A = this chain, B = another copy of it.
């Protein structure tokens, strides 16, 4: 019998998906390394090392905006409000007319971004920019209708939790900030990564009168409605492993049937549990496979310098003693990646954190990204994305089906070069080509001011994270190119302002 399992590698929405979507494949864009199991690969990016402590604590002021729950309805419920958190930093702001850089929050609380996102802090002085970080509705302290649990348990209250409402929130907050700080003529540059990068590019397209330009880092805006082949994501994971080590890639490719073989034995799950030192006894071989897919995808997505987690995993796999069998090598890769531990939490990414719960809803309503694999088109077993099944599963979980075509209806994506060649301006789509999500990104310039800035070796959202002294020159060059482009937008804006 063919092995089937879920590829839920993306660490954030797994808990509920696990039970309902076991035959479908859904990966979510993360921008937030600190929320992932791969955070250790990014500890060197701890802002306390890179920014002065005061830059985090003293110069950042937390404020709240009374936000409308429903911007697109005039029924009485839509007038309900919630307190939306935003954080602001005046340290380098040149005052009236000087730019505002606004980081658009995504699927997590905004405090995390203050620590992991470096683009604003690192460049505020250069741009004389006011820094603004706005929390996405339904995360952190910006949850309408009480707690996250309360908001999400009610079919009616969670309906307002979507991207169109979120970017309308950002529009309102930014207009408010301009008024509050007498910055009517300040150009606003919006910045976001991953899902937040999508929001940034969509914000520029929908609200050009509010944002002058957008830096959309690792934004897979084309991973909807089958614009991107389903296997785009896993093909890149595969490619990154293969480039790191052909033998490592081969070992992984062969491991899945080995797992099935052992699982089919008498007490096979006990053998696997012992072999992989799982903290709890495995409930299924799929649990183990999910965990491993998770490790490989995460390592590839966050395959950042200087550690390059894919290299770390492969060093473990390839470096095991000669006599080690395939599963032993795979385990050695896990150990190398996760560091030595008394046991490994194969279920550990399935906790119902706010991000897990929130993003699971977002992907099951609007952000339907069809990720899957075919037969032998990646190093993973086949697991095609089945839209009908996905819809059915989401409907059974939430009572309403997703709207899988809405993202392209509302924001576009099909024939993007044809469409945006003569429409819009001032968007940077930045990608690292080793980021699996770059498969759904914009990788070619569309016009003179809708620009792709890619790095051959980059990983997910690398350009907008906190910079480090050890950053390779190609990363520094990518950032400098972005700064230069934004400088150009702002210079033109000021010139236009004087006309």
Contacts and interface: CB of A to CB of B under 8 A. Distances in A.
Interface residues of A, number: 62
B73 A208 contact: no
A374 interface: no
A296 B408 CA distance: 47
Nearest to A70: B73
A209 B496 contact: no
Contacts of A71: 72, 164, 406, 410
A206 B424 CA distance: 11
Interface string A152-184: 000111111110110010011001000000000
A393 to B, nearest CB: 16
How many copies of this chain does one complex carry?
Answer: 2
Nearest to A416: B209
Given A77-B159, A168-B409, 14 more contacts: A70-B72, A72-B164, A73-B159, A73-B162, A74-B162, A74-B400, A76-B156, A77-B156, A79-B400, A171-B410, A207-B410, A209-B412, A209-B413, A210-B409
18 contacts: A68-B403, A72-B72, A73-B73, A73-B162, A75-B157, A76-B159, A77-B156, A77-B159, A79-B400, A171-B410, A175-B409, A208-B412, A209-B412, A209-B415, A210-B409, A210-B412, A422-B425, A422-B496
A76 B157 CA distance: 10
Interface in A139-153: none
A324 interface: no
Given A74-B400, A168-B410, A400-B74, A208 B159 contact: no
A74 B449 CA distance: 35
Nearest to A399: B76
Nearest to A168: B410
Interface in A338-363: none
* 9 closest residue pairs by CB, A with B: A75-B159, A209-B412, A72-B72, A208-B423, A73-B159, A74-B365, A74-B159, A75-B156, A209-B419
Given A423-B208, A497-B418, A73 B160 contact: yes
A429 B492 CA distance: 25
Contacts of A422: 425-426, 449, 492, 496
Contacts of A424: 208, 423-424
A78 interface: yes
Contacts of A420: 208
Given A73-B160, A165-B72, A414 B209 contact: yes
A234 B358 CA distance: 52
A392 interface: no
A155 B209 contact: no
Nearest to A159: B75
A208 B74 CA distance: 26
Contacts of A426: 422-423
A421 interface: yes
A76 to B, nearest CB: 5
A435 to B, nearest CB: 25
Interface of A: 68, 70-79, 155-162, 164-165, 168, 171-172, 175, 205-210, 365-366, 399-401, 403, 405-406, 408-416, 418-426, 449, 492-493, 496-497
A206 B206 contact: yes
A155 B73 contact: no
A419 B208 contact: yes
Given A70-B73, A72-B164, A496 B418 contact: yes
A497 B155 CA distance: 44
Nearest to A154: B75
Contacts of A159: 73-78
A406 B426 CA distance: 24
Contacts of A449: 422
Nearest to A424: B423
Contacts of A415: 209
A449 B421 CA distance: 13
Given A74-B366, A160-B75, A423 B421 contact: no
Nearest to A422: B425
A70 B71 CA distance: 12
A205 B70 CA distance: 21
Contacts of A410: 71, 168, 171, 207
A205 B206 CA distance: 7
A399 B76 CA distance: 8
A74 to B, nearest CB: 4
A175 B403 CA distance: 15
A195 B324 CA distance: 74
A374 to B, nearest CB: 25
B76 A409 contact: no
